Structure formats: structure tokens, C-alpha cells
Structure 1
């Protein structure tokens, strides 16, 4: 075809090296699938694409202008004194109060020592098991009479140096059990390692008395010894009476 002849078909122009048309995607840059009229990179789920979601719309659970709900108040256990006052009202209330506490102590003793052997500090009788004895009506009445049915203050009742706290020797260490509150634990954990329960102050010793002639000993029967032990409240409490001061 003669390019000089008018009306003749012209051959296609050769390709020219240069940037691609704007409508074609560039190499290494994927095409944008954003809807028409929306900038690339905008949040497709929110036309306004806010930095943080807004809760001020109609029907929303909360409003940005309303204060946040306050957390639920923590549950508080009633003071120990209220528990004790209610526990000594009836034998049923005593069982409800002492049963879980005695079970904790008894389970620990059985876990460590595999046995239970001892006398009740209150009743001065053998116990086949701590829980079984502590929940008995006999023990409940005996304990109530020992404290004259006057429940001590919580601070006094929980004092580990008091006479109603039993000391049980276990392979792990001395285990304490409070006959009034039902609290228990190892002495090293409750009072610190190597710390002994505080004792009442000892009165100053009296001056030594002058020697006097010693009379021959008088035989004492077993019944007298038992009665003497009962009068003084001797048991595993180390000779201290169980009465509340």
C-alpha cells in the first residue's frame, strides 16, 4: 500500500516505551477494588471509617455521653463474730458452722499422719474423729458450758495463744486447731517460721521460802487424780483452763 495515496490504510504505529495508561494497573501494584467515589484504603465496613466505633446511634446499648456502668460489688463474708453468735444459738447452727471447718482440719491430719488419735480438750474424752466428735451434741453443750455461753470477741476467739487452741504434732510440724472458731493451720505458717504462740506475762517470782520439814507423801488414788485433772481442765491444753477470761 502506498502511504502517499490518500485514503489508503495506515499501518499501526509502533509501540513506544513509556508509562502505561492510567487505567491499567502498574506492575507490582494490584488494582484497587474500592467502590466508585471511595478512597483507596478506606474502611469498607463504615462509610465514615472512624478511628473508634461510635455508640451514640439510636438503639445502641450504650451512648458515648452516658457513664460506663460500675462493676458489681464484691461479695463480702460476714464477720467471724456474727458467725459465732449464730453458731452457738442451737445445735443445728453449731453443726452448720463447725462441720466444714472441722473437715478441713481432719482431712489435713489424715493426709499427713494417716491416723487420728487424741483427746478432746473440752470433753476430755477420746475422739474417733475430729468431725464426728466436734459435731456431737455432747461436745456442743460441754463447750457452751465451758465458756458460760458467752461468745468471745472475734479477735479474742481467733487468738492462737488462747487455751482453746489445740497443738497437734504432725510429721510436717505443729498443727493448730481452734475449738471455738474451727480455724486451723500449721504453726509455722500462721505465726511465722520458728515463732511460738505468745503466752500471758508471767508474774514475778516470789522470794524463796524458808525450808520446812517435809512430811511423808500421802498415797493418792487414781480417782483423785482424775478429779484433780477435771477440776484444773488438764488435757492437751497443757494445764490451762478452757474458760474464757
Structure 2
């Protein structure tokens, strides 16, 4: 695919009204992209989009709940009618399943005592929601000269890292919900990448690191802007960039 220099790039970030998603939206807007701020809450989405516009960016709020097929299809139709294409999709929306408790500290996710309904709820957002959004938007991504899909994963999804009893994650509590959902997301990323490789659509997973967000009750040591940098890097890869990979700001993460 040859990139048209007059082509206006359109990027959608799900879960973009706060935290990591909002930081990614800010950085994409600063690069000159038109950013669609996906958010379940219309008011919060519009507040975030307004802040991006106030900073000089081009942004629009888009009501989108990745677990609600109606809002997913409505969002896809709106993008088609308004722009006719999509260049970047960052699947950022996700839940821990344990409220404002880091999965590393969530005793309610221990495999032997976990409630299956919790696991289902986490997978509904973190895995099935990604499938729903990606499939709804693929026709629009195919109209882009350089389509990119970024799935927001986690270091915890690395089975190589989490299975090492002497490794950096040995102290984490075992998780039957969040961690397996992100491992499943990684596997899904590879399968989409394999299918779409021939079409020039690059699909990668990103591990942003331990970012200070609501999902861990602000215990992370990285700022959202620092965590978002790898998302934006993968969203702006050139045609020779990788696909079917798992990356952090330091480089590839072992599966």
C-alpha cells in the first residue's frame, strides 16, 4: 500500500476518556491525526474530546461500549458516514475484574476460589469486546493506505515471564481472570495478524508497563503518557514494521 500524503489519518482509541487511552489519544492528536475518543459514558467522552480540541487537536467523542453490539455497530456506521475509512484502531478498553485493585493483589482471582462469572465478565470485555470492535471496523481499516491495529495487553500475559518461579513476576498472586484474558488477547493478536498480513494490516500487542491508572488504584510507577508511547509507536509503524508481535517500550516481550 502506498501512502497518500493528502490522506487524513483517522484513529479510534477505545476506553479513551481517561488514563492510558486518553494519553494515547493525546499523542495521536499531536501527530496530526483526527482522533475518535471511544468511551462508554458520552459525557466523559465529550469532555476528553473537548480537552483534546482545546490543546489544538482534532477530536470527536464516540459512544462505544465494547460489550454492547448496538453501540459497536452504531460507531462503525458513524465513522463510515463521517470519514469513510479508519487508519488506526487501538483496542485499549479493558477491565481487571477486581475494581480498583491491581490484578497482582486481587485475592478474588485466585484460580481455586474464583467465581466463573468474574472470569466471563473479564473475557467479555478484554477478549470478546476486541473481536467485536475489530470485526466491525475491519471494512473501514481496509480502506486505509496504512492500517494499524494495536491491542493493549500486559506483561502479565507473558507465560514465559509469569511461569518463572525466580522471575520478576513470581510474587504476583495467581489470576484466573485478568491474566488469562490478556494471554488470550495475545493469541488473538497473532491470529488476526496472520489473517491480515497479506492485506498490509499490521496487528501487534503492546505491554505499556505498570502505569498509574484507576485500574490499579494509581499505584503504577509510569505516567499514562509514558505507557502510551509504545501504543503510539505501534500505531504509526511504517510498511516494513513488524506484525504478530508483543512489545513494550524496551522491545519485544517473550510470549
What TM-score does the superposition give when structure 1 sets the normalisation length?
0.23
Q: Which has the higher helix share?
A: 2
Higher strand share: 2
